[in-house]
A = this chain, B = another copy of it.
Amino acid sequence: MTILLYDLVGRDATRPFSPHCWKVGMALAHKGLAISTAPTRFLEVPAVEGGVSKTVPVIRDGDKVVADSFAIALYLDEAYPDRPTLFGGEGGKAMARFVERWSQLTIHPYVTTAAIIDLHAMQDEENAVYFRQSREQRLGKRLEDVVIARDAGLATFRAALEPLRSMLGYQPYIGGASPLFADYIVFGALQWARIASPYQLLDDSDVAAQWFARCLDLHGGLARKVAAAA
């Protein structure tokens, strides 16, 4: 039986871009579970599984429907305990939440700044209208006024990744010798940027970029199957 993943896309259904959906895509591959995806536009999210969630990812696994990337990862580890763990124990579950909040507060705002015009351009006409309205309301300014902070903010963004770099001096993954869901959390944020925008967030020589490249190679290069934005 395959697990169905509702995966956020724009005009091109082969370029899923949501950071949270990528966390789940990587988690499903990590568990070695067969999946099918339902490409989902922003405006289709409210109809997913009868309106179970305001956001994707949502998965259906037989009779079970689960929303929210972290909740899905917890569900997968509980439902499939014989497959590779996503958390490495109870401590890992708890600390993955810290990593999630760090990623959400440190990486997501800058990716939003850097990629917002590109994310808008990826949507079809109807969804682009929704995207502009909802984001301009949330951010309190026009999309074109968001992106102008991009160059000025780049050095601060890169500096904010120092804890990740410093950790990589001890071990190759946040999960230790091999990746865990905590890696996919941070990976998802940078994959979102990679797929949406050609703007270069990291230098290739950056150890954080090298960790990201290792994540792109995981699970048969799953995450490279969607090309970087050009």
Contacts and interface: CB of A to CB of B under 8 A. Distances in A.
Interface of A: 85, 87-102, 104-106, 162-164, 166-167, 170-171, 173-177, 180, 182
Say what secondary structure dominates the interface of chain A.
Answer: helix
Given A88-B89, A88-B90, A174 B95 contact: yes
Nearest to A96: B95
A47 B6 CA distance: 62
Given A94-B173, A95-B98, 10 more contacts: A88-B92, A89-B89, A90-B92, A94-B174, A94-B180, A95-B96, A95-B180, A98-B182, A101-B167, A105-B163
Contacts of A174: 94-95, 98
How many copies the complex holds: the figure is 2
Contacts of A105: 162-163, 166
Contact of A175 (B91, B175, B180): B91
Contacts of A101: 162-164, 166-167, 170
Contacts of A167: 97-98, 100-101
A176 to B, nearest CB: 3
A85 B94 contact: no
Nearest to A175: B94
Given A104-B166, A105-B162, A163-B105, A99 B91 contact: no
Contacts of A180: 91, 94-95
Nearest to A178: B94
In this complex, which of A91, A100, A173, A177 has the most chain B Cβ atoms within 10 angstroms of its Cβ?
A91
A163 B88 contact: no
A100 B93 CA distance: 17
A95 B166 contact: no
A153 to B, nearest CB: 15
A77 to B, nearest CB: 10
B85 A91 contact: yes
A104 B182 CA distance: 20
Contact of A95 (B104, B175, B177): B175
Contacts of A91: 85, 87-89, 91-93, 95-96, 175-176, 180, 182
Contacts of A176: 90-91, 93-94
